[in-house]
């Protein structure tokens, strides 16, 4: 791999005796890995675990596999997995993933939250947020919203609100050179400093949203000190109430440059790509800001249609408040401020749509609940799965009462479908179907 001359000179100086091993690692193959999704229940058939991680495994997962389609696994390389693990939110926390697409960090945070608390997953790019919404939906989250906003507009709504903020910041991408060699063409000697300025602008707004006593995890996929330790030093000098927390160094992580609490991941030491992470703790006394519980925003007829559907199909009472956007019904977690002025890509868990005197369940609802949370379901086999995800109807081995059923494969949901007799009609989203 041909690396920029100035890049080579820079890291020869930074790494000294380690530089040769560092540059040699660029000739090796990128490391692939994935995480198991604890929201989907038990999963004990995976091998090659990443040491000292709760859900990480080395290896590749096909995008057409049952495990991927049902959201049981999420592909994410090992160094990137460390950011969510360093953040490790506790259940019930209010969490912000500030630059979230395509969803690796958000789905990892959701694993820790375990369908409690709130995750606001923000991606300013509407185009990039489509993959983010799809990944969060497949993961089966019930407590996540996706916004398409600038940090400044978010800060106006979420002043001192979040217990935890994760910013995996836009950066010069040096840590991705091996995985994505095209990133090399964007790199130049002044690029890290240009990125650092943007990072500081984002962090200025992020700190406004941090609740007293909260935590801020700042990370990049670059090794440039200008974007890493120097940005963290700037934060510490600007906000006297922030202090660095120690990050345990596992699996070959290195300490930050003259900042031992932070963590660096180099591919010649850590089995993965490049990453930097620092965790900052807000030392101000924590305080609880009470937000008045929101009432359900449903018309009387809609309320009745939903209750009839829930009584017939669900074994679980979904907590939160119900809100309609047009004819679509969403479940949102309690404790949210007024978000009516923000651009939304995912308004919460999409439950379904009201049609003339009936309620039709959503694909997302079928992904979010487990078998035992439904009063009835249909389990299909592997051959039927192949037919279904190709967009075709499936013939069942027996007749069923007509109506909507959640469909499961190997105990994991793939959405709702309508059954007539022994025919399972196809409702798998067109954009997700396999040819």
Alpha helix positions (H), 257-318: 300-313
155 is in an annotated binding site: no
79 is in an annotated binding site: no
Catalytic residue among 171, 195, 221, 269: 221
267 is in an annotated binding site: no
Residues 115, 368: Cα–Cα separation, whole Å: 10
33 is in an annotated binding site: no
Q: What is the DSSP letter of 170?
A: -
104 is in an annotated binding site: yes
103 is in an annotated binding site: yes
Residues 273, 30: Cα–Cα separation, whole Å: 7
170 is in an annotated binding site: no
102 is in an annotated binding site: yes
Q: Is 195 a catalytic residue?
A: no
| Residue from 337, 124, 93, 76 nearest 217 by CA | 93
Report helix, strand or coil for 124. Answer: coil
78 is in an annotated binding site: no
CA distances from 10 to 23, 189, 196, 227, 306 (A): 12, 9, 17, 14, 61
Tokens in use for 234? 């700037």
Active site residues per annotation: 221
Per the annotation, where are the binding residues?
A: 99-105, 123, 168
Residue list for the binding site for S-adenosyl-L-methionine = 99-105, 123, 168
């Amino acid at each position: 791999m041909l690396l920029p001359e100035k890049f080579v000179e820079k890291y020869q100086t930074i790494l000294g005796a380690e530089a040769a091993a560092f540059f040699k690692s660029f000739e090796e193959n990128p490391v692939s890995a994935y995480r198991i999704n604890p929201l989907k229940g038990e999963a004990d058939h995976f091998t090659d675990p990443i040491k000292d991680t709760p859900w990480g495994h080395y290896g590749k997962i096909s995008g057409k596999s049952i495990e991927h389609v049902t959201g049981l696994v999420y592909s994410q390389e090992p160094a990137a997995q460390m950011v969510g693990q360093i953040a490790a939110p506790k259940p019930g926390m209010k969490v912000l993933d500030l630059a979230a697409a395509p969803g690796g960090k958000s789905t990892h945070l959701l694993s820790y939250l375990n369908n409690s608390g709130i995750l606001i997953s923000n991606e300013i790019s509407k185009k990039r947020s489509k993959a983010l919404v799809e990944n969060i939906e497949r993961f089966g989250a019930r407590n996540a919203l996706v916004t398409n906003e600038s940090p400044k507009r978010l800060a106006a709504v979420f002043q001192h609100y979040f217990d935890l903020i994760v910013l995996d910041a836009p950066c010069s991408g040096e840590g991705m050179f091996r995985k994505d060699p095209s990133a090399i063409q964007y790199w130049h000697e002044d690029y890290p400093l240009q990125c650092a300025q943007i990072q500081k602008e984002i962090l200025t707004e992020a700190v406004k949203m941090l609740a007293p006593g909260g935590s801020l995890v700042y990370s990049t996929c670059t090794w440039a000190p200008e974007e890493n330790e120097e940005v963290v030093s700037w934060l510490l000098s600007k906000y006297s109430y922030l202090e660095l927390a120690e990050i345990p160094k596992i699996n070959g992580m290195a300490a930050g440059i003259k900042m031992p609490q932070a963590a660096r991941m180099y591919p010649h030491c850590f089995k993965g790509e490049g990453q930097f992470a620092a965790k900052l703790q807000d030392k101000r006394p924590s305080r609880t800001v009470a937000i008045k519980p929101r009432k359900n925003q449903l018309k009387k007829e809609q309320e009745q249609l939903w209750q009839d559907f829930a009584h017939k199909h669900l074994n679980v009472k979904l907590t939160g408040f119900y809100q309609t956007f047009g004819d679509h019904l969403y479940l949102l977690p309690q404790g949210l401020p007024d978000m009516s002025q923000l651009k939304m890509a995912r308004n919460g868990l999409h439950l379904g749509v009201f049609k003339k005197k009936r309620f039709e369940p959503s694909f997302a609802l079928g992904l979010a609940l487990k078998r035992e949370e439904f009063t009835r379901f249909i389990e299909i086999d592997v051959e039927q799965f192949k037919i279904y995800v190709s967009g075709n109807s499936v013939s069942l081995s027996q007749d069923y009462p007509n109506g909507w059923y959640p469909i499961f494969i190997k105990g994991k949901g793939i959405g709702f479908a309508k059954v007539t007799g022994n025919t399972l009609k196809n409702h798998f989203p067109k954009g997700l179907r396999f040819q």
